[in-house]
Amino acid sequence: MIIIDKALQFREDTNNPIRVGILGAGYMAIGLVNQIVRYTPGMEVVAICNRNLDKAIRCYKNAGIEKVAVCETPLSLEESIYNKGYAVTNDPEVICSAEGVDILVEATGTIEYAAKVVLKAIAHKKHVVLLNAELDATLGPILKYYADKENVILSGSDGDQPGVIMNLYRFVKSIGFTPLVCGNIKGFLDVYKNPNDMMEFARNMGQNVNMITNFTDGTKIAFEQASVANATGMKVSQRGMKAYHSDKHIDDLTNIYNLEELQALGGVVDYVVGAKPGPGIYVFATTQDPMAKHYLSYLKLGKGPLYSFYTPYHLCFFEVPNSIARVFHFNDPVMAPVSGPVVEVVATAKKELKAGDTLDGYGGYTAFGQCENAPVCYREKLLPIGLAEGVTLKQNVSKGQVITFEDIEIPKDSFVFDLYQKQQEKFIDELVVKEKFSAL
């Protein structure tokens, strides 16, 4: 941030702002637009794309901007940008193809729609920052592959837990330590909660009830930690992660992990429920350097072998302008898959399901998501929850059972299933090698 603020101020002073397009107009997009418009020098939100134009206009109005153009063509958006205006559109092609949009932020929380738009943006050689862990965890590797081919950056974002974890992970590595646990601190968990249970809370918070349910039933944290795993190469030590429950401070929990197991796995992603400081994140790291151990003891970080580093908060959209600047100005992605999938988020039945039932995706009534190592998913044909919405079961599935591709009718001509298949085919050799290695 110390470098980013100077870079953005320089852009402000030289009248050369980063021109941002936002995809989505929901809870996080509202905050992000307000943050950029009111508080971020050297950056402008030149366009918002949303299927409901009134919601896109609302984003601008909440940030104090009353005059907004509705653009139906790339040319009309280009004219708006040239005239220093603000625009909305409901056509992703307009915002993805228009000259003058430097970078896009994907903030819809969807998977199929978002994947189509991200691919469209990449085809038009636009950088994309994802405020969308669901998409990143499900299709991030193949989207990153296409972004690399077009020489553009696909990046996660600062502020949300995965980005905060990655920043701390990079810092810990930069001072000579080996990160072995990248963790998240969660306040509450009930994998069987459904939208009926969360309706009143969602209404009071002004949020979408399915997204609140997604947070509560652990699916969101699974998406987040899978994204971190794919960006670091770390695995999960068991299906669903260890998910320890504790009311202690995170500094007091370094002894809950087995060092040899962590080293054998090459590090793990995990989370704890109820620990302090919540809702923060943590990285547990180790070192073999006797001098480093001496100084860490002197600095009150304990005697090891694991040392606790943590950030006591995450600030969601408040930090996303930093991500935009990092990607566009410094070519520094916050996080991105290092290669193929390392961990995936698999659909698990919330209740007894019958043949003929239709799954409703994440944050719904039928399934929650939990992390599993990608080679296991490949071998056991486990269904990612990011693909589950709208699919029909062809056989019964018990409550708590992981749903497989063999349990469902594979949709025909499904964009998201086809893209996932391309991801598998692209990285299948890598998955097989990982599976063979893990069996040794």
pLDDT for the residue 202: 85
Taken in order 210, 133, 429, 239, the sign of the CA dihedral is negative
Confidence of residue 43 (pLDDT cuts 50, 70, 90): very high
Residue in the block written with tokens 């998240």: 184
Amino acid at 140: G
- Assess if CATH 3.40.50.720 describes domain 2-160+317-330: yes
pLDDT in tens, 244-262: 999 999 999 999 999 999 9
pLDDT for the residue 208: 87
pLDDT in tens, 187-237: 989 999 999 999 998 898 888 899 899 999 999 999 999 999 999 999 999
Examine domains 2-160+317-330 and 343-439 and report if their fold is the same. Answer: no
Which pairing describes strands 127-130 and 154-155: parallel, antiparallel, or unpaired?
Answer: parallel
Structure tokens at 44: 């402008």
Amino acid at 135: L
Size of the chain, expressed as the number of residues it contains: 440
Taken in order 359, 364, 368, 374, the sign of the CA dihedral is positive
Domain spans, the chain: 2-160+317-330, 161-215+243-315, 343-439
Taken in order 81, 87, 90, 92, the sign of the CA dihedral is positive
pTM of the model: 0.95
**pLDDT of 437 strictly over 80:** no
pLDDT in tens, 50-96: 999 999 999 999 999 999 999 999 999 999 999 999 999 999 999 99
Residue in the block written with tokens 């890598």: 430
Q: How far is CA 329 from CA 3, 187, 322, 324, 335, in A?
A: 11, 36, 10, 8, 16
Confidence of residue 428 (pLDDT cuts 50, 70, 90): confident
Distance CA 94, CA 114 (A): 15
CATH topology of domain 343-439: Type Iii Antifreeze Protein Isoform Hplc 12 (3.90.1210)
Bridge partners of 154, per DSSP, are 128
SS (H, E, C) the chain: CHHHHHHHHHHHHCCCCEEEEEECCCHHHHHHHHHHHHHCCCEEEEEEECCCHHHHHHHHHHCCCCCCEECCCHHHHHHHHHCCCCEEECCHHHHHHCCCCCEEEECCCCCHHHHHHHHHHHHCCCEEEECCHHHHHHHHHHHHHHHHHCCCCEECCCCCHHHHHHHHHHHHHHCCCEEEEEEEEECCCCCCCCHHHHHHHHHHHCCCHHHHHHHHCCHHHHHHHHHHHHHHCCECCCCCCCCEECCCEHHHHHHHCCHHHHHHHCCEEEEEECCECCCCEEEEEECCCHHHHHHHHHCCCCCCCCEEEEECCCCHHHHHHHHHHHHHHHCCCCCCCCCCCCEEEEEEECCCECCCCECCCCCCCCEEEEEEEHHHHHHHCECEHHHCCCCEECCCECCCCECEHHHEECCCCCHHHHHHHHHHHHHHHHHHHHHHHHHC
Neighbours of 273 (CB within 10 A): 18
User: CB–CB of 416/329 below 8 Å?
Assistant: no
Confidence of residue 440 (pLDDT cuts 50, 70, 90): very low
Distance CA 338, CA 156 (A): 12
Averaged over 172-184, what is the pLDDT? 97
**pLDDT of 433 strictly over 70:** no
Q: Name every residue whose Cβ is closer than 8 Å to that of residue 321 and which is 6 or more positions away in sequence.
A: 8, 32, 35, 36, 40, 43
pLDDT for the residue 207: 85
φ/ψ of residue 412, rounded to 5: -85, 145
**pLDDT of 379 strictly over 80:** yes
Spatial CA neighbour of 39 closest among 316, 329, 318: 318
pLDDT for the residue 328: 98
Structure tokens at 176: 């000579």
Higher-scoring residue by pLDDT: 147, 210: 147
Spatial CA neighbour of 81 closest among 66, 94, 92, 63: 94
Average pLDDT for the chain:
95
pLDDT for the residue 1: 57
pLDDT in tens, 328-371: 999 999 999 999 999 999 999 999 999 999 999 899 999 999 99
